[in-house]
Amino acid sequence: MILITGAGGQLGRCFQKLAPDYPELKFLFATSSDLDITSRRAVNAFFKKNNITWVLNCAAYTAVDKAESEPARARAVNVTGAANLAHACAETGAGMVHFSTDYVYHNRQNTPFREDDATSPKGVYARTKLAGEKAVQRMLPGAMIVRTSWVYAREGANFVNTMVRLGNERPELRVVFDQIGTPTYAPDMAEAVLHLVQKVEKDELAQEKLEGIWHYSNEGVCSWYDFACAVMEIAGLNCRVLPIESREYPTPALRPPFSVLNKGKIKEAFGLTIPHWRESLKRSLQDDQD
């Protein structure tokens, strides 16, 4: 049984939509009301009740700015919750895929980050996500940790949906141009992970090959300004997008100025083909119109 935590979030919902495409895999979808991952007792009881063989941990406190005023809540989910799941997996022999973030990188560099590059998280969200990674690795050294960036899906609160809504409401928007990264279409990442889990289940891939830190985002590079312009263009919205500097749009939490992820490791190890971000954005917005 594959447990999907955070099943009500945008990545969790992507796994729910993909599940029928993997009839040989059995899934159990849990929202925070179904399972309180911040309670080790609750997690252990849940594992005893259900035959969990994998955990795909999509649960996370992702309100980046709000985390600055709610550090205890962010830590409870991103660190304690992740550790509790990893501990249960270690006790039962289950595998685990834990999703993390490009926010762990806040270094001043201009080449895509590799998995072994130094981390330098700024802010509560970034620090708790990195601490969560380390907690998972301590509890379950064989876990797969996937760092990703700029995640969006057709549903949920995300940049693309916000741009579409504002693009329909306003004639003009101002978007930062000095934060560089890569969008990730959540269904692409979910499908890549399920592909790997299925290969392990079919004995076509040794589970230990998944161990460690991996990067996954779509291909290509852009700024948030470029991303917004593409949304308006592809969605056919008549909204002008103007570039601004980050200092003109201050936020409680600092954003990484450059967080492009190098995907060479995951592509070479597993033969994955990753779509370009514009291609996936087109699919997302076109699906929305169907």
CA angle, 36 then 39 then 45, to 5°: 80
Determine the pLDDT at residue 288: 52
Side chain identity, residue 258: F
Other CB atoms within 10 Å distance of the CB of residue 57: 27
Determine the pLDDT at residue 81: 98
Determine the pLDDT at residue 290: 45
Give the single-character DSSP code of 247: G
Determine the pLDDT at residue 156: 87
Q: Which of 105, 125, 152, 216 is catalytic?
A: 125
- 221 in Cβ contact with 182 (< 8 Å): yes
Which residue in the block uniquely carries the two structure tokens 């022999």?
93
Q: Which residues contact 218 (CB under 8 A, 6 or more apart)?
A: 182, 183, 184, 185, 188, 274, 275, 276, 277, 279, 280
Domain ranges of the chain: 2-152+183-219+260-274
CATH of 2-152+183-219+260-274, one of 3.40.50.720, 3.40.50.1820, 3.30.450.40, 3.40.605.10: 3.40.50.720
pLDDT tens series, the chain, 290 aa: 999 999 999 999 999 999 999 999 999 999 999 999 999 999 999 999 999 999 999 999 999 999 999 999 999 999 999 999 999 999 999 999 999 999 999 988 889 999 999 999 999 999 999 999 999 999 999 999 999 999 999 988 999 999 999 999 999 999 999 999 999 999 999 999 999 999 999 999 999 999 999 999 999 999 999 999 999 999 999 999 999 999 999 999 999 999 999 999 999 999 999 999 999 999 999 865 54
Distances (CA, A) of 47 to 1, 5, 27, 53, 242: 10, 12, 14, 9, 50
Phi-psi region of 266 (alpha: psi -120 to 50; beta: other; left: phi over 0): alpha
- 215 in Cβ contact with 228 (< 8 Å): no
Confidence (pTM):
0.95
Determine the pLDDT at residue 287: 65
Question: Quick check: is 216 catalytic?
Answer: no
Helix, coil or strand: residue 38: coil
